[in-house]
Amino acid sequence: MRLLGIETSCDETAAAIVDGSISPDGTPRGQILSNIVLSQKDHEAFGGVVPEIAARAHVMAIDSVILAAMKDADCEFSDLDALAVSSGPGLVGGLIVGLMAAKSIALAHDLPFLGINHLEGHALTARLSDQLAYPYLLLLVSGGHSQILLVSGLGQYHRLGSTIDDALGEAFDKTAKLLGLGYPGGPAVERAALTGDPDRFNFPMPLRGKMPPNFSFSGLKTAVRQQAQALLQECSLSDQGVADICASFQKTVAAIIEDRLIRAFELATSRSDVQQILQGRSLPLVVAGGVAANKVLRTHLAGLADRLGTMLVAPPLNLCGDNGAMIAWAGLERFSAGEAHDFDLAPRARWPLDMNAQTMIGHGKAGPKV
């Protein structure tokens, strides 16, 4: 099957064409024919995404991005089997732009139409890039989400841990803004950390050793701000000081995630249903989302997977951030299962993967030092 995927949930206008199939035994096979991503630059001055600016930028770019994806794939609309578009969660203004574009194309060309959970796109990317079978343990870390989920099948997501305050990507963005590194914060902090000393500062590790394996990054952000203020008062917040803060921050983040994943892995592998499916095989560890592009984090996770006796699956860097290929692939999996949507489908600002999980409400917590 061949699907067009459209993604406009935040500040990337993206479209892609994906070919693929799901074999009778559930084996996924996919090929990306095109993957166009236009990242918006107008948010840099604000240090974060401004919803109205994002929506207007999507309106201006959506047609050209879709046509570019079709051209790169040497594809006509008549060659498509269906369309898939992110319909939540995300910024409603952007979601509306993508939905209306997809509905218009589907209506004009008599094509089936699927609204896809943006998070499911990230969750299933490893099946597109690495033909990964179910089940697997997923670390989903992005600007708006930090979760650990057991992925047992299409639509079968069991949340083992989530953030009680800020998402990890948000912590990176706010750290970068505090230190004057610009936006987006993740790549900026990673670049600054290259010349830093990760052992110079001891930052707190909230919830370390606690169960369930939830995250808390608010206290870590506060510690970073306090350290930066202390260096300012000492007139020693130099480029090296900023680099050392970033390197120490990254080291702390990696240690927090390792601790949370160890406990989540224990929970997942102790389940009888998982043991029955695996039949002695190891449970793969998958990382997805924009923060999954961080090289330090990927290195730490690879070492953790070795210690756990399993493998790490990390999608290519161009599939970590928001993109149309992941939406097209999730649409292909849903379409293969016989699903499609009506044209009255509305955007959803909030749309959890695990519909049975309780909403996380809490405050940042301090923790032991690294």
Q: For 13-40, how does the pLDDT look when each residue is reduced to its tens digit (9 = 90+)?
A: 999 999 999 999 899 999 999 999 998 8
Residues 74 and 166 in one domain: no
Beta strands in the chain (DSSP E): 2-7, 12-22, 28-39, 82-88, 113-117, 136-141, 146-153, 156-162, 285-288, 312-313
Residues 81 and 145 in one domain: no
Please state, rounded to an integer, the average pLDDT across all residues of the chain: 93
- 329 pLDDT exceeds 80? yes
Structure tokens at 241: 């000081």
Distance CA 222, CA 219 (A): 5
**Residue 344: inside a domain, yes or no?**
no
Residues 71 and 12 in one domain: yes
Residues 262 and 308 in one domain: yes
**Residue 16: inside a domain, yes or no?**
yes
Residues 138 and 285 in one domain: yes
**Residue 153: inside a domain, yes or no?**
yes
**Residue 309: inside a domain, yes or no?**
yes
Residue % of the chain over a pLDDT of 70:
96
Split into its structural domains, the chain has a count of 2
**Residue 368: inside a domain, yes or no?**
no
Residues 80 and 145 in one domain: no
Q: What is the mean pLDDT of residues 180-198?
A: 93
Distance CA 271, CA 159 (A): 13
**Residue 330: inside a domain, yes or no?**
yes
pLDDT per position as a tens digit, 114-165: 999 999 999 999 999 999 999 999 999 987 889 999 999 999 999 999 999 9
pLDDT reported for residue 280: 87
pLDDT reported for residue 370: 44
Structure tokens at 52: 């109205």
Q: Do 244 and 203 touch, CB atoms closer than 8 A?
A: no
Residues 151 and 262 in one domain: yes
Helix pair angle (168-178, 185-193), 10° resolution = 70
Q: What is the mean pLDDT of residues 175-201?
A: 93
Q: What is the mean pLDDT of residues 81-87?
A: 98
**Residue 359: inside a domain, yes or no?**
no
Residues 122 and 144 in one domain: no
Of the candidates 28, 41, 87, the residue with the CA atom closest to the CA atom of residue 341: 87
pLDDT reported for residue 182: 85
CATH of residue 39's domain is 3.30.420.40
Distance CA 128, CA 32 (A): 9
pLDDT reported for residue 77: 97
Residues 78 and 150 in one domain: no
Residues 197 and 177 in one domain: yes
pLDDT reported for residue 48: 72
* Domain extent for 288: 134-317
Residues 152 and 10 in one domain: no
Residue % of the chain over a pLDDT of 90:
86
**Residue 365: inside a domain, yes or no?**
no
DSSP string covering 133-184: PSPEEEEEE-SS-EEEEEEEETTEEEEEEEBSS--HHHHHHHHHHHTT--SS
- β pairing state of 312-313 and 285-288: parallel
Residues 71 and 157 in one domain: no
pLDDT reported for residue 335: 98
Q: What is the mean pLDDT of residues 255-283?
A: 95
